[in-house]
Amino acid sequence: MDVLYYILTGTLILVSTPFLLLRSVLSSNFRNNIKAKLKGPNALPHLKKSLWIHASSVGEVRLAKTLITSLQENGETRPIVLSTFTPTGFDLAVEENLPHVFRLPFDFPLWLNPVFDRIKPSQLILIEAELWPSLLRLCKKNNVPVLQVNGRVSEKSLERYRKFNSFFLWMTEAVTQFSMRSQKDAERLFELGVSEEKIRVTGNIKFDTLPNGSDTRSSLVFNPDSFLIVFGSTRPGDEGPAMEAFIKLKKDFPNVLAVIAPRHMQRCREVEDLIREFNDNYILYSETKEEDWVNKPCSIILLDKIGALNSFYANAKLAYVGGGFNPRFGGQNILEPTAFGIPVMFGKHMSNFEEEARLLIKSGGGIQLQKEEELYSVLKKFMLSPDLRQKAGEAAAETVRQHRGAVLRTLKIIQETRPV
């Protein structure tokens, strides 16, 4: 099947090349993205027996940081290499000073073989749902054991893999061990025909990436009388209902302050235009000093910079996390605000954060909204009741505390599957 797959993908690459070249001419961002991928690990030193970790984007890179720190603290001696798929993931990895970072090239032997030659991996760790056919088949060819950590299989992915079950089993033949984040994910993998011996449940490393609640509590300055609500990781369709709810709340609670943080920074101009339509006072985080939040008459902060969201969660009293009202998005990370002991609200489509949503709903720390119109009434209910807010916030924080420890269980499996 390897030869057939390479013939088909090679033909697809040849057919699409003129379109890719045309887009490269028209878009400098696309052109730079292609160049970064083609460059691959060329800037890295030649390595031997490296530990290769692949993290797709920002969320996976944060998991990789926690994993790499734990590996180093526990005596890992192999050189660690980190590849990312998205440019934002790459930028974060460089900003966090993670070791030997590069962009993963296109999934085809022509571009992947030089990676193997350059870094000589002894083991590959894939974070969450990153399964690339050519990469996995080349690992098998080069006798590189593969471990998937914090693995997840959503209901949507299960349906897709079922349609191509033989292809999925062929693709994942090189995976030595699947380290899954929940029993449900493990069961779905077993349904696809993966042998039970290759599946382990180790928990969700995301709980280990969360800060302690007091870590950034005093890092920002706010008017002590303000009531801060964070609308975090918003996706298209989230900001409108958030603004409508916020404008209504302002009539009842003049001291309410909102932070709107789009999941993707390139949408900030679009979100800013939407805020203007509501004729409310707002400021851009990147253009304002902290003392202005106290002194200027503004009620909305548009967070247009990556890396500051947790500081606002740390000072908030309530949080809404976006992406849950569109099944195409499947939710965003609802654990981030819970570490600071605040209740979190989210929509009904949480396929990418299914287990996290289940745990928070069960504990009472998370509130799942069935429709966008509920946002105002639920926020108002919690604003009117400090006791209810405190109880839900404590439940959210306790959920985090109870589910830490997955990273240590994952380290054990990495050691068990490490080649001699």
Q: Where are the domains of the chain?
A: 37-203+405-417, 227-402
> Model confidence over 79-120: pLDDT tens digits?
999 999 999 899 999 999 999 999 999 999 999 999 999 999
**Predicted confidence band at 68 (pLDDT cuts at 50, 70, 90)?**
very high
Q: Are 300 and 271 in contact, with CB atoms under 8 Å apart?
A: no
Hey, how many other C-beta atoms are within 10 angstroms of the C-beta on 295?
9
**Predicted confidence band at 214 (pLDDT cuts at 50, 70, 90)?**
low
Predicted pLDDT of residue 253: 94
Cα(191)–Cα(178) distance, integer angstroms: 14
- The torsion defined by the Cα of 174, 151, 41 and 27, in degrees rounded to 10, comes to 120
Predicted pLDDT of residue 333: 93
Q: Are 115 and 139 in contact, with CB atoms under 8 Å apart?
A: no
Half-sphere exposure of 226 (CA within 13 A, CB side): 21
Hey, how many other C-beta atoms are within 10 angstroms of the C-beta on 246?
25
Predicted pLDDT of residue 420: 75
Cα(292)–Cα(297) distance, integer angstroms: 9
**Predicted confidence band at 367 (pLDDT cuts at 50, 70, 90)?**
very high
Q: Do domains 37-203+405-417 and 227-402 have the same CATH topology?
A: yes
Burial 201-229 (b: 16+ CB within 10 A, else e): bbbbbbbbbbeebeebeeeeebeeebbbb
Which DSSP category does 334 fall into?
-
CATH class of 227-402: alpha beta
Q: Are 242 and 260 in contact, with CB atoms under 8 Å apart?
A: yes
- Domain range 37-203+405-417, CATH architecture: 3-Layer(aba) Sandwich (3.40)
Predicted pLDDT of residue 290: 65
Q: Are 71 and 51 in contact, with CB atoms under 8 Å apart?
A: yes
User: What is the pTM for the complete model shown?
Assistant: 0.85
Minimal CA–CA distance to 233: which of 386, 65, 365, 62?
A: 62
Whether residue 293 is predicted with pLDDT greater than 70 in this model: the reply is no
Q: Rounded to 5 degrees, what are φ and ψ at 233?
A: 50, 45
Q: Are 409 and 202 in contact, with CB atoms under 8 Å apart?
A: yes
* Beta strands at 175-180 and 199-201: parallel, antiparallel or unpaired: parallel
Cα(193)–Cα(151) distance, integer angstroms: 16
Beta-bridge partner residues of 319 = 230, 344
In 225-362, which ranges are E strands?
227-234, 256-262, 282-284, 300-302, 318-321, 344-346
Share of the chain above pLDDT 90, in %: 74
Predicted pLDDT of residue 330: 93
Predicted pLDDT of residue 35: 87
Q: What is the mean pLDDT of residues 168-190?
A: 94
Residues in contact with 398: Cβ distance below 8 Å, sequence separation at least 6, in sequence order? 363, 365
Whether residue 216 is predicted with pLDDT greater than 60 in this model: the reply is no
